[in-house]
């Protein structure tokens, strides 16, 4: 594991004089490589910078253990620090859905995988926790998105709120709440509209829906392949709507998942799940160790 970074750091340390403890120069030289590795993994620049600064403080002056090379030692320090940032409090897979019907608000940009993730999560709650789930699409601008959720619902055996033409997002949210209450559902999930970019109209709509539904969980769905942009998306959604967690999609792709670190560092909110494919069961609980390994490459 981390061969790339270990090799690179090995090279750095070969050029330095061996001492009993990691000197400031050793650490600084090594951390330049770490910073490059983080940026290559698509961690956003300010997050990479802050992270490296924090590790620099931890590493400087640490006694060099005999059994490992200084390079390996720095990699371990970096790895442990990464996990510390990535790990949220508590179990990432456990959602606050005890008071029925518990609303879950799904937010994010268009194309992030929001609708797919809504259905995957509904299936998971049904299969693993025996919950009765109702899903509703609030994307009134894109009838195809509403149809998509209905089709996925049929596929996985989860009810969707019937589509009524002409309603706005808030009206749909109210109807979902009513149906969930009177229909005896444990959870209702609101798949909000996404746009290609964040704009005021979108945020106003999501805020209005939030005010009606008072969600127990608001999950931000982010494409794990987005690098620098992930930070803006997270900042905007958390600032305007307030999120309780993040789902990173497309973690089955070639990306190194640096968005995970950026999201955690910027919002402080836990990453709950990762999407690992298009299939309905391709959703797993977030594991910091796995993502840390990928980020370090
Ligand atoms: P939305 O616009 O945010 O609702 O996005 P969709 O849910 O419609 O997803 C857009 C595309 O991404 C679809 O083709 C999904 O099958 C695909 N997708 C969603 N999540 C994942 C994932 O975790 N991995 C992969 N490979 N594809 C995904």
Closest-CA residue to 198 (of 221, 232, 224)? 232
192 lines ligand 1 (CB under 6 A): no
* Single pTM value for the model: 0.92
pLDDT at 3 over 60: no
CA angle 55, 59, 65 (to 5 degrees): 140
**Position 26 pLDDT exceeds 80:** no
The distance of Cα 54 from the centroid of its chain, to the nearest Å, equals 22
ipTM higher than the 0.95 cut: yes
Q: Which two tokens stand for residue 80?
A: 């442990």
**In the structure, what pLDDT confidence band is assigned to residue 184 with cuts at 50, 70 and 90?**
very high
The first and second tokens of residue 291, run together, are 């993502």
Mean pLDDT score across all residues of the chain: 89
Average pLDDT of 204-231?
Answer: 92
1 — pLDDT class (breaks 50, 70, 90): very low
Backbone phi and psi for residue 194, each to the nearest 5 degrees, phi listed first? -115, 160
Query: So what's the pLDDT on residue 11?
Result: 66
236 lines ligand 1 (CB under 6 A): no
Residues 38-47 have a mean pLDDT of 89
Most informative mutation of 105, 109, 113 for ligand 1 (most atoms within 8 A of CB): 113
Higher-confidence residue of 16 and 266: namely 266
If pLDDT is split at 50, 70 and 90, which confidence band does 16 have?
low
- Confidence band, pLDDT 50/70/90 cuts, at residue 59: confident
- The rounded percent of the chain whose pLDDT value lies above 70 is 92
């Amino acid at each position: 594991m981390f061969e790339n970074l270990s090799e690179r750091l090995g090279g750095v340390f070969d050029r330095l004089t061996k001492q009993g403890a990691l000197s400031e120069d050793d650490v600084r030289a090594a951390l330049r490589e770490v910073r490059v590795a983080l940026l290559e993994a698509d961690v956003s620049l300010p997050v990479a910078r802050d992270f490296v600064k924090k590790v620099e403080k931890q590493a400087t002056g640490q006694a060099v253990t005999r059994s490992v090379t200084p390079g390996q030692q720095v990699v371990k320090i970096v790895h442990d620090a990464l996990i510390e940032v990535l790990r949220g409090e508590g179990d990432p897979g456990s959602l606050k859905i005890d008071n029925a019907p518990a609303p879950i608000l799904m937010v994010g940009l268009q194309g992030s995988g929001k609708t797919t993730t809504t259905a995957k999560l509904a299936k998971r709650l049904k299969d693993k926790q025996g919950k009765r789930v109702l899903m509703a699409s609030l994307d009134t601008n894109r009838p195809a998105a509403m149809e998509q959720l209905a089709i996925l619902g049929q596929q996985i055996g989860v009810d969707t709120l019937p589509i009524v033409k002409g309603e706005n997002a808030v009206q749909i949210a109210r109807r979902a709440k009513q149906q969930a209450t009177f229909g005896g559902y444990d959870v209702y999930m609101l798949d909000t509209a996404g746009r290609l970019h964040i704009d005021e109209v979108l945020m106003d709509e999501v805020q209005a829906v939030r005010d009606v539904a008072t969600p127990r969980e608001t999950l931000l769905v982010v494409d794990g392949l987005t690098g620098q942009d992930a930070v803006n998306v997270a900042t905007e959604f958390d600032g305007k709507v307030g999120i309780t967690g993040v789902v990173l999609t497309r973690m089955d792709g070639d990306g190194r998942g640096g968005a995970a670190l950026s999201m955690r560092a910027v919002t402080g909110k836990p990453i709950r799940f990762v999407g690992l494919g298009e299939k309905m069961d391709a959703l797993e609980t977030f594991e910091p160790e796995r993502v840390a390994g990928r980020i370090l490459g």
